[in-house]
Amino acid sequence: MIALDTNVLARAIAAEVDADATTKAQRERAQALLSSGRQLFVPITVVEELEGVLRGAYGMPPDEIAALFEDMLAVENLTVDRLGAVSQAIAWYRRGMGFSDALQLAQSGLCSGLATFDKQFSKAARRLGLKPAVSAPS
């Protein structure tokens, strides 16, 4: 099994109009690896970083990122770390929560609460009725 770094997935996904020869070659190699049928592994940290790269560097809207992630989860030779948490985070992301916050909360399911000073995070979790409860430490 081969673990993938964020830049390999980003190269395979994002088509850069003004790409230089090196970038184009990397895109071809990344796509070839993904379609090779070899067993590939995507660490949870790569999933989180990839969302930030696609949104920030490539300007991809959240709905497109969520759809791309859902497609990624369905690829047979691709094992995504903490699949259940990633799936839950994608669903909450589609409902308007930030992806990193959604992923953090999805991985905190066995806890009685999640402590944060991030008011936007706690407000979104309350608005969506998510558990565990997200609030500032008292």
Supply the pLDDT for residue 22.
92
Mean pLDDT of 12-28: 90
Residue 119 inside a domain? The answer is: no
Residue 126 — very low, low, confident or very high, per pLDDT cuts 50/70/90? very high
With bands split at pLDDT 50, 70 and 90, how would you rate the model's confidence at 138?
Answer: confident
**Residue 125: inside a domain:** no
- Does the pLDDT of residue 30 top 90, yes or no? yes
Considering the domain boundaries, does residue 117 fall inside one?
no
Q: Is residue 126 part of a domain?
A: no
Domain count, the chain: 1
The model's pLDDT over 34-87, given as tens digits with 9 standing for 90+, comes to: 999 999 999 999 999 999 999 999 999 999 999 999 999 999 999 999 999 999
Q: In which domain, by residue range, is 72 found?
A: 2-109
Q: How far apart are CA 113 and CA 100, in angstroms?
A: 17
* Lookup: tokens for 9: 């997935």
Is the omega angle on the peptide bond into residue 137 within 30 degrees of 0, that is, cis? no
Q: Is residue 135 part of a domain?
A: no
Cα pseudo-dihedral 34, 94, 108, 1, rounded to 10? 0
Is 82 part of a structural domain of the chain?
yes
Q: What is the CA radius of gyration of the chain?
A: 17
pTM over the 0.85 mark: yes
User: Looking up tokens 């409902």, which residue turns up?
Assistant: 95
Structure confidence by residue, pLDDT tens digits, 7-19: 999 999 988 888 8
